[in-house]
Amino acid sequence: MNQEHYTKLEKMYLQANINTALYDTTTIKISEGLAQINMEISEKYFHALGAIHGSVYFKLLDDAAFFAVNSIIKDAFVLTTSFNIHLIRPAHKGIISSVGKIKSKSRNLFVAEATMYNEDGKEIAFGTGNFAKSNINLSEKIGYK
């Protein structure tokens, strides 16, 4: 059951409109309380100084933390209620990896963190967020299939 859940979440992520249109070089692997997203850097993600824009850092960090949390919630979609990022160094080539994991959980609140690494394994950014279980069921209607 758990692997089926992880696979459905992975498909849901990869088939989301934003990922098929803008982030078409991403891959995702989900397991219990953990998610890893890899993306090949392209110049289409660059700001004027030739490195990836902060919005890309935010999206990949939030997504990794989000799916780490949703890996343990099997009946409902999770919502990000807040997320803070810290940029350490720029990235402009290769593959970046964002690894999310759960830090704390209670009945209604989940705290997760994500760390982003460049292809040399150096930390380039990190973030922490709060997540809540929504009233939206995981279903084929939202791509959970």
Full-model pTM: 0.95
Number of domains, the chain:
1
Tokens coding 68: 């780490």
pLDDT band at 21 (very low <50, low <70, confident <90, very high): confident
Q: How far is residue 97's CA from residue 126's CA, in Å, rounded to a whole number? A: 11
Does residue 18 carry a pLDDT above 80? yes
Predicted confidence (pLDDT) per residue in 92-132, tens digit = 999 999 999 999 999 889 999 999 999 999 999 999 999 99
70 belongs to a structural domain = yes
Q: Can you give the CATH number for the domain in which 28 is found?
A: 3.10.129.10
Helix ranges (DSSP H) in the chain: 2-15, 17-21, 54-70
Residue 57 inside a domain? The answer is yes
Query: Is residue 145 situated within a structural domain?
Result: no
Structural domain boundaries, residue 54: 2-140
Is 80 exceeded by the pLDDT of residue 39?
yes
Residue 45 has pLDDT above 90, yes or no: no
